[in-house]
């Protein structure tokens, strides 16, 4: 039989401040009557709990760290998890709250009268690494990732329920990671916690909405923690530190990323860490071949790069990349795959040692995880991510404008947070016609949003596609991709350059003549 309950939202609202002593109820008897999670693997209740844990990449062991018990509700009956909360009554530590989660409906609730006098802390309380989480499942996920080697403080009723007295249990000089949800409530709660924790606070946002969605392993999580710690320590900088960064960048020890197209590289002076370059064109103009050519240059210069091929399967990208490298037609690569011709691929794979590719659909929130995975598989520093193309990158939003705005801002933030360059292909709107006319900023979809977020923008078109040309003019321009620098954070705009396609491989290059 399901007991009377109060909603989780009401629980959060009533527990934002310290409870008054006369309002605290002793719920020890109610908690003791609940059952421990069964040990027998063949038990049906245990199987349901284990399946629920598996979906969230946690284990029953992680729940036991939180003193979770189970009960059954309704005619089903539904299996319900129950978490205790503690406070003090008459100086004695007592169960003063019980939170429920119905595994059949995923509905969360609490026993009437539940109040929290203290947060639950699991893991190693003597650790110098403390994590503050909004909820129990997030805490269980972090406990699972770290195998209990860190201390995890669980806020019992939402992001805003932390109190000044609670942070007093954290050891002095500990690193305190504010692992609140990646949403507005989480940011507000993290800001409140940061004021209480002080200089030890480090914001650690999950790549998705919460840590229950995090699909990475310990190495991936450690990479996020390391990056968050590094960012927190370098957020406020002196001019001496800034000049040192500038000197390192310009002196050659960490050069900006160049594209391999001389005139364009000379004008934009490279894409630095934290900057975003957009390459915009209509469909079938050749922007992906342009990306293949840039990757060929990156490989030969050993620039650590992740290619996010959101449209083209990875095997097809590899075919093109090998064709560009060897300056042969893609059809010749297919003949090699069929055993119909010899082709030296060893030199190619060695040249591509600094390049990694992912061809799975990706959400904006997943990119930091992919970048961390890439770093683990590279022997050189990761410098750049190349995305083909912007329109296929997953982001939330009610309409195209909101989604485009989120992508533009997200890519810029990614470049700054990860200290990398971002190169992204972009589709032009129908205003660009058949792709034969000069590209302008107005041809960008939701151009105002994107223009603000980009540091550099290159527009590409194929003048030889125009129906207004004579046959001879078409022939002269058939292998020409004309490009214009539409935005340049580092210098002048407006330069127009003719890039050429190699007749067989379609490698895009600038003639030195």
Between 3 and 121, the higher pLDDT residue: 121
- Residue 4 CB partners (closer than 8 Å, separation 6+): 112
- The pLDDT tens digits of the residues spanning 248-267 come to 666 665 788 999 999 999 99
Cα gap 351→298, rounded to integer Å: 9
Cα gap 206→221, rounded to integer Å: 9
pLDDT band at 15 (very low <50, low <70, confident <90, very high): low
Identify the pLDDT of residue 329: 93
Burial 399-427 (b: 16+ CB within 10 A, else e): eeeebbbbbbebbbebbebbbbbbbbbbb
Cα gap 402→451, rounded to integer Å: 14
Cα gap 443→306, rounded to integer Å: 28
Cα gap 334→294, rounded to integer Å: 22
- DSSP letters, 345-369, are -HHHHHHGGGEEEE-S--BGGGHHH
Which two tokens mark 382? 């990761």
Identify the pLDDT of residue 145: 95
Cα gap 163→322, rounded to integer Å: 59
- Residue 498 CB partners (closer than 8 Å, separation 6+): 480, 481, 482, 483, 510, 511
Q: Is the pLDDT of residue 277 over 80?
A: yes
Which two tokens mark 240? 């001496």
- The pLDDT tens digits of the residues spanning 376-434 come to 888 888 999 999 878 788 777 777 777 777 888 888 888 887 889 999 998 887 776 78
- The pLDDT tens digits of the residues spanning 114-169 come to 888 888 999 999 999 999 998 899 999 999 999 999 999 998 776 667 777 788 78
Most confident of 19-23, 238-242, 278-282, 290-294: 290-294
- Residue 268 CB partners (closer than 8 Å, separation 6+): 277, 456, 485, 488, 489, 490, 491
Cα gap 359→382, rounded to integer Å: 18
Number of Cβ within a 10 Å radius of residue 140: 29
Q: Are 119 and 92 in contact (CB under 8 A)?
A: no
Query: Beta strand pairing status for 508-510 and 6-7?
Result: unpaired
- The pLDDT tens digits of the residues spanning 62-76 come to 999 999 999 999 888
Strands (E) in 343-495, as ranges, are 355-358, 382-388, 421-427, 456-461, 480-488
Mean pLDDT of 33-50: 94
Q: Are 158 and 12 in contact (CB under 8 A)?
A: yes
**pLDDT, averaged across the chain:** 86
Which two tokens mark 429? 């709107």
Mean pLDDT of 295-300: 94
Q: Are 367 and 387 in contact (CB under 8 A)?
A: no
Mean pLDDT of 99-111: 92
Which two tokens mark 71? 């009960």
- Residue 106 CB partners (closer than 8 Å, separation 6+): none
Cα gap 278→274, rounded to integer Å: 14
Q: What does DSSP assign to residue 432?
A: G
Q: What does DSSP assign to residue 118?
A: B
Identify the pLDDT of residue 7: 54
Least confident of 44-58, 291-305, 366-380: 366-380
Q: Is the pLDDT of residue 355 over 70?
A: yes
Cα gap 463→436, rounded to integer Å: 4
- The pLDDT tens digits of the residues spanning 154-176 come to 987 766 677 777 887 888 778 99
Cα gap 130→28, rounded to integer Å: 28
CA-to-CA separations, 468 to 315, 438, 462, in angstroms, rounded: 38, 14, 13
pLDDT band at 54 (very low <50, low <70, confident <90, very high): very high
CA-to-CA separations, 315 to 22, 77, 86, 349, 459, in angstroms, rounded: 68, 50, 56, 14, 28
Domains recognised in the chain with CATH numbers? 1-118 (no CATH), 120-236 (3.40.1360.10), 252-463 (3.40.50.300)
Name the helix (H) or strand (E) containing 304.
Answer: strand 304-309
Cβ neighbourhood burial of 302 (10 Å; 0-12, 13-18, 19+):
middle
Identify the pLDDT of residue 1: 43
Q: Are 153 and 166 in contact (CB under 8 A)?
A: yes
Identify the pLDDT of residue 513: 58
Cα gap 175→333, rounded to integer Å: 53
């Amino acid at each position: 039989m399901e007991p009377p309950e109060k909603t989780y939202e009401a629980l959060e609202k009533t527990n934002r401040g310290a409870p008054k002593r006369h309002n605290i109820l002793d719920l020890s008897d109610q908690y003791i009557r609940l059952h421990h999670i069964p040990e027998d693997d063949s038990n049906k209740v245990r199987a349901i709990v284990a399946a629920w844990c598996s979906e969230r990449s946690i284990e029953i062991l992680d729940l036991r760290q939180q003193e979770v018990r189970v009960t059954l509700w309704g005619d089903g009956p539904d299996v319900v998890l129950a978490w205790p909360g503690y406070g003090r009554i008459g100086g004695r530590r007592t169960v003063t709250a019980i939170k429920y989660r119905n595994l059949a409906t995923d509905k969360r609730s609490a026993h009437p009268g539940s109040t929290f006098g203290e947060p639950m802390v699991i893991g190693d309380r003597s650790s110098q690494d403390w994590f503050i989480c909004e909820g129990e499942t997030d805490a269980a996920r972090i406990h699972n990732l770290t195998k209990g080697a860190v201390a995890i403080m669980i806020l019992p009723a939402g992001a805003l329920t932390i109190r000044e007295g609670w942070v007093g249990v954290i050891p002095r000089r500990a690193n305190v990671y504010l692992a609140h949800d990646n949403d507005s409530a989480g940011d507000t709660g993290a800001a409140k916690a940061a004021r209480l924790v002080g200089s030890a606070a480090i914001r650690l946002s999950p790549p998705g909405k919460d840590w229950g969605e995090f699909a990475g392993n310990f190495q991936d999580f450690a990479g996020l923690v390391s990056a968050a710690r590094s960012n927190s320590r370098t957020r406020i900088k002196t001019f001496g530190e800034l000049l040192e960064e500038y000197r390192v960048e310009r002196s050659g020890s960490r050069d900006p990323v160049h594209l391999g197209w001389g005139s364009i590289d000379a004008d934009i002076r490279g894409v630095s860490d934290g900057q975003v370059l957009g390459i915009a064109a209509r469909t079938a103009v050749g922007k992906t071949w342009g990306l293949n050519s840039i990757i060929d240059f990156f490989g030969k210069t050993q620039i650590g790069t992740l290619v996010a091929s959101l449209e083209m399967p990875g095997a097809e990208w590899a075919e093109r990349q090998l064709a560009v490298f060897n300056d042969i037609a893609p059809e010749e690569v297919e003949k090699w795959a069929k055993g119909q011709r010899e082709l030296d691929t060893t030199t190619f794979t060695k040249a591509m040692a600094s390049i990694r590719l992912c061809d799975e659909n990706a959400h904006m929130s997943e990119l930091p995880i992919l970048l961390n995975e890439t770093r683990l598989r590279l022997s050189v520093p990761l410098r750049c991510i190349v995305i083909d193309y912007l329109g296929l990158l997953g982001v939330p939003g009610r309409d195209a404008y909101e989604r485009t705005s989120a992508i533009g801002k997200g890519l810029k933030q990614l470049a700054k947070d990860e200290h990398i360059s971002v190169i992204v292909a972009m589709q032009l709107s129908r205003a660009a016609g058949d792709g034969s006319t000069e590209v302008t900023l107005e041809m960008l979809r939701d151009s105002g949003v994107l223009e603000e977020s980009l540091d550099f923008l290159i527009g590409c078109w194929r003048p030889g596609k125009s129906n207004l040309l004579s046959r001879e003019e078409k022939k002269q321009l058939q292998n020409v991709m004309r490009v214009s620098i539409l935005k340049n954070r580092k210098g002048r705009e407006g330069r127009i350059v003719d890039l050429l396609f190699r007749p067989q491989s379609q490698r895009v290059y600038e003639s030195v003549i």
